[in-house]
Structure 1
Amino acid sequence: MNGVEPGTPCWTDLATPGLDDARRFYPELFGWTGQISPEPDAGGYTVFRKDGKAVAGAGPPGTPDQVPVWSTYVATDDADLVATRVEAAGGQVVVSPFDVAQQGRMAVLADPAGAVFSVWQPMAMRGAELYNAPGAMCWNELVTPDPEGAKEFYALVFGWHPEERPVGPVAYTGWRCGARIVAGMLPRAEPLPEDLPAYWAVYFAVEDADATAARATELGGTILVPPRDNPAGRSAALRDLSGALFSVSTLR
């Protein structure tokens, strides 16, 4: 496949019942522009762009009871094979592999602790066109109560190799895919709410995490974890108007 290497996060999108609110909130926060799909069966799916480059998407929830959530998509050259591996490793196929028009083939999956993620087998749409720049996805991180189980699961599914990385008192794990660390993992801890037992966090790069957090509250969002320093930079965890969790980071 061309573009992002298999096993690497390549896209993120928001499933939300508050699609109109999202189309206002995120462009105000990140300087995005939105392009709504004209396809009748797309449900108003919107591709957000930064400086003309695709960085993220947003659409309606897949089911009426789905909570608003930002999803991490991992690139693959065979979505069906990944789904088979997920089941064999003790995970769950939430939505079986299916084609998204001529754009690509995807599946929605969950690890044994319940963290939901997606895979993307690209066709016309390769994934995000901008990374690690203000307004673009810069990191993906698994937060889980079962790090040891996750190490076994993601090694079987994606061939990831866990590498322990010193981050103060926290046991932080980097996921190595080939020559690169492509994502991270840390144990679930306070002040995260109980309704988030295991999940994949999506980080967007910003020029100033403090200013972005303040602006999010002005736009009607909330601060879940206030800005604080870490080895990678300065980060904050936020919620949008519908309650979807996302994080921002000022990169060093």
Structure 2
Amino acid sequence: MPEVSGYDPGWPTWAELASPDPEASRAFYCGLFDWYSYTLTVADLGDYEIFTLGDVQGPEVAGMQTLADDSLPSSWTCYFRTDDVDAAVETVRAAGGQELMEPTDVAGLGRMALCSDLEGADFALWLPFDLRGAGVADEPSAVCWVELACRDVERARRFYGEVFGWKAVDRSYYSRTYTNFKIGEWSVAGLVPLDEFWGPEVPPHWVPYFEVADCDASAERAVGLGARIDLGPTDIAPGRFSVLTDPTGARLTIIKPDRRRHALFDRGT
């Protein structure tokens, strides 16, 4: 399994679920991905759930916190590595984004801030102390990609270029144009337009992709655990994927990458 020793600035480093029903979310994700979970009590922030592969000694894959306001929608937040959270927040503001949660030390785990971009899509900044981020990536049941869905692609390209120094590169699948965000020669994230293929009620958002060994079987398993299939399973150039909504309303994507034909999820294109 490709264990991760650390992340460079600008790279996605962690995925965190905010759930109004942690017990239901724990049952769903542990059932879908065979995750184990344990609870940390963080001063001033309450209980925080850590999901791991295998058992308590396994590598960390994601986190979960309870929504303070259960009227808010359940969602995943993607975290991005920075060397200076406070300075990064100032860069977000200068680029037109907002600070939703001021820079905060999370026990001995790291320092974080929650922000939103020009269209209101949430994302987080992370400076690691003891928690580097996900301890494994690009393996079944772990995050292999993160992607932004938004309405104004050009504004998003400019905003994230200013905030993280990402270079935007177009890619075309099935007569539709998408964007890869790159650092050097490495792809770190994607961007898709919220166009006619999406309902008008869908807000701009970041979504994590979780790798699976069999997309169809995993989608069927997810439905059995209470999820809804919003799209797929469907073949695309990088692999076979499906977009799901979990039992508490959070959107996620599962994918079986086809690395023989397309290297997107190996980061090199």
Normalising to structure 2: TM-score of the pair? 0.90
Give the 5 Å matches for 1:1-252. Answer: 3-39=6-42, 41-51=44-54, 52-252=58-258
Segment of structure 1 superposing worse, 162-171 or 204-213: 162-171
Name stretches of at least 5 consecutive residues in structure 2 with no aligned partner: 259-269
Q: Percent identity?
A: 39
Name stretches of at least 5 consecutive residues in structure 1 with no aligned partner: none
Q: How far apart, CA to CA, are the structure 1 residues paired with 2:190 and 2:217? A: 25
Matched AA of 1:20? E
Matched AA of 2:16? D
The 3-state SS of whatever aligns with 2:219 is helix
> Relative to 1, partners in 2 of residues 1:60 and 1:225: Cα closer, same or farther, differing over 3 Å?
same
Q: How far apart, CA to CA, are the structure 1 residues paired with 2:42 and 2:158? A: 40
Please give the root-mean-square deviation of Cα atoms over the aligned residues, in Å: 1.4
Per-residue deviation, 1:48: 0.5
Residues 189-245 of structure 1: CA deviation (Å, up to 9, x unaligned): 344343322111110000111111111111111111121011110110111111111
Q: How far apart, CA to CA, are the structure 2 residues paired with 1:138 and 1:196? A: 23
Q: How far apart, CA to CA, are the structure 2 residues paired with 1:105 and 1:117? A: 14
Task: Give the paired residue count.
Answer: 251
Q: Which residue number corresponds to residue 261 of structure 2?
A: none
Per-residue deviation, 1:109: 0.7
Per-residue deviation, 1:180: 0.8
Q: How far apart, CA to CA, are the structure 2 residues paired with 1:43 and 1:161? A: 38
Segment of structure 1 superposing worse, 181-190 or 69-78: 181-190
Normalising to structure 1: TM-score of the pair? 0.95
Q: How far apart, CA to CA, are the structure 1 residues paired with 2:181 and 2:230? A: 25
Per-residue deviation, 1:170: 1.4
Q: How far apart, CA to CA, are the structure 2 residues paired with 1:210 and 1:48? A: 23
Q: How far apart, CA to CA, are the structure 2 residues paired with 1:182 and 1:40? A: 32
Find runs of 4+ consecutive structure 1 residues off by over 4 angstroms.
39-42
Residues 149-197 of structure 1: CA deviation (Å, up to 9, x unaligned): 0111011100000011122211111001123110111111344343322
Per-residue deviation, 1:33: 0.3
Matched AA of 1:186? V
